[in-house]
Structure 1
Amino acid sequence: MEIESITREAIETLVEAIESRDLRSVRRALHPTASWQNVPHPAAEGREAVIALLDGILCFSERVQWDVLRTSVDGTSASVERVDRFWLQGDEYAVACHGIFSVDIATRTVISVRDYVDVGEWQQRVSPMLSKMASRPSLDVVSAHLEAIKTGVALTVAAHYALDATIECSASKVVGWDGIADYYAAVGTQPELRTLAWDFVESKGRDAVAVDWRLSAVGDTMRSGRDHYEVRDGRIIYLMTTLQLNAP
């Protein structure tokens, strides 16, 4: 009975992490050797491969909701029937799924998922939208990112970055999606962020965008600078911030 309770809890933790769209939480809910197969496609093997599999749909979605219809637990495995709902560009997409989940009891994490998905719905509606979002002009991607910054919600901002993205500013560097999410969570707590303004946003070719900005600081000083963005497949892969202190 205790084993089945742990199994159920581990699966619920993963579902909650997926609904949060926080890749850090998803990673914690998965075993290091986790695998995920969307039948009939080959399985993603290893936790980082699973994160890469889920990354696109989770980060492109404004909202994710998994409606679990029925769960049947047997030891360390469970059959989970559900409807996966994703909101992309304001529209809802619902995909029926039946997953077989296995849990590692020692770590209380999900070690494997074999998912039987409504392939027709996915290929006809979801996949074309994901392709459309991945092919957006770099200027559109960065403009959406700037709008997200105004919300002050770290996950909304981090969603615009690729898994292997890098942020550089002066002598500091942040590498990877998790670190970038942590970075924006810290920046979002700073009250002066509310005084951030953009003066200039310009495309610098197919995959690059330049942004000039001003940030009012405590006292009579103001900071300003230029951000250089590089975009790949609808996500930011690189941001270099050049600062100019004590601007008039």
Structure 2
Amino acid sequence: MNEDLRTRQTIDRLLVAIESRDLRAVQTALHPNATWQNVPHLAAEGRPAVMALLDNILCWSDQVRWDVISSSVDGRVGWYERVDRFWLLGEEHAVQCNGVFTIDPATDTVCEVRDYVDLSEWRARVTPVLQSLATRSAEEVVSQHLSAVGTRDPVAMTSDYVLDAVLVRPDAHFTGRSEIADYFETVPERLKDRELVFGEVEATDFHVAGVPWEITSAEGRVASGRDEFVVTEGRITHQRTSLDSDDF
């Protein structure tokens, strides 16, 4: 394959992953030792740090679209002029960026990003919105999560969890958003021809809330139980499921 084409495809794979908001896809598109610098600020070094940097905005976004205005590629390096668009609480927030992407041809992953962007202006606009999201109560966050569960979209279902969240079920233990997302991938098929009904969200305090649920089919009740959530700074850090019967 032509080197320039390979570089473009590798960079585009990362951009598509970011737009999907699926951090599993983002992780796959990044080199394990990737760095990301919003110039002139210090770079995030290593894939976990880059994932955390991106998650700071992706987790709150209802939708993400990065419009490429112009691009050029030479060897392992690509220059991408973009308008990055994020929808927060239904409103679009856009920022102009000029990114220099370097790929690792051995792994077909992006190993370095240097983004030239006016972060001060961007932060002035979005920080109040992010602060309002981060101060939501457990009851509000859990209610939003239940709405996402109704979509059966694993990315939406996982977006309210922190990166190192823990989900505990009687027969399984999932650590981290990726494992939780993999579990949620199995839910739509398991709920096929069944109905999941949630009860009222019950807040124990500002940071803790629970909700009873029941799954039924044409033959009657399949399973029932209760989910307890711990929420910190507007995101789910821990979820524990208890069952009244066998799992579904």
Does residue 81 of structure 1 match 2:81?
yes
Q: Which residue number in structure 1 is paired with residue 242 of structure 2?
A: 242
Partner of 1:200, secondary structure, is: coil
Equivalent residues in 2 for 1:113-128 (5 A)?
Answer: 113-128=113-128
Figure out how many residues of one structure are paired with residues of the other and give that number: 246
Q: What CA distance in whole angstroms lies between the structure 2 residues aligned with 1:205 and 1:220?
A: 34
After superposition, give the CA deviation of every residue in 1:98-117 in whole Å (9 maximum; x if it has no partner): 11111111111100001111
Distance change >3 Å, CA 239–CA 218, structure 1 → 2:
farther
Q: What CA distance in whole angstroms lies between the structure 1 residues aligned with 2:196 and 2:184?
A: 14
Contact 1:192 1:215 in 2 (8 A): no
Distance change >3 Å, CA 169–CA 218, structure 1 → 2:
farther
Q: Which residue number in structure 1 is paired with residue 97 of structure 2?
A: 97
Partner of 2:34, secondary structure, is: strand
Quote the sequence identity (%): 47
After superposition, give the CA deviation of every residue in 1:152-198 in whole Å (9 maximum; x if it has no partner): 11111011111101111112111111111111110122235851112
Which ranges of 4 or more aligned residues in structure 1 deviate by more than 6 Å? none
CA RMSD, Structure 1 to Structure 2 (Å): 1.6
After superposition, give the CA deviation of every residue in 1:193-217 in whole Å (9 maximum; x if it has no partner): 8511122311111211011111114
After superposition, give the CA deviation of every residue in 1:88-128 in whole Å (9 maximum; x if it has no partner): 11000010001111111111110000111132431121222
Q: Which residue number in structure 1 is paired with residue 175 of structure 2?
A: 175
Q: What CA distance in whole angstroms lies between the structure 2 residues aligned with 1:171 and 1:75?
A: 50
Structure 2 gaps, min length 5: none
Distance change >3 Å, CA 193–CA 143, structure 1 → 2:
farther
Shift of 1:7: 1.2
Q: Which residue number in structure 1 is paired with residue 62 of structure 2?
A: 62
Shift of 1:87: 0.5
Shift of 1:78: 1.6
Q: Which residue number in structure 1 is paired with residue 33 of structure 2?
A: 33
Partner of 1:188, secondary structure, is: helix
TM-score w.r.t. the length of structure 2 is 0.94
Partner of 2:189, secondary structure, is: coil
Q: Which residue number in structure 1 is paired with residue 165 of structure 2?
A: 165
> Structure 1 stretch 129-138 or stretch 76-85: which is displaced more?
129-138
Q: Which residue number in structure 1 is paired with residue 17 of structure 2?
A: 17
Contact 1:217 1:223 in 2 (8 A): no
Partner of 1:60, secondary structure, is: coil
Q: What CA distance in whole angstroms lies between the structure 1 residues aligned with 2:81 and 2:175?
A: 37
Partner of 1:148, secondary structure, is: helix
Distance change >3 Å, CA 220–CA 94, structure 1 → 2:
closer
Q: Which residue number in structure 1 is paired with residue 152 of structure 2?
A: 152
Contact 1:70 1:80 in 2 (8 A): yes
After superposition, give the CA deviation of every residue in 1:198-247 in whole Å (9 maximum; x if it has no partner): 2231111121101111111463444221111001121111110110028x
Structure 1 gaps, min length 5: none
Q: Which residue number in structure 1 is paired with residue 189 of structure 2?
A: 189
Q: Give 2:11's aligned amino acid.
A: I
Q: Give 1:204's aligned amino acid.
A: T
Partner of 1:42, secondary structure, is: coil
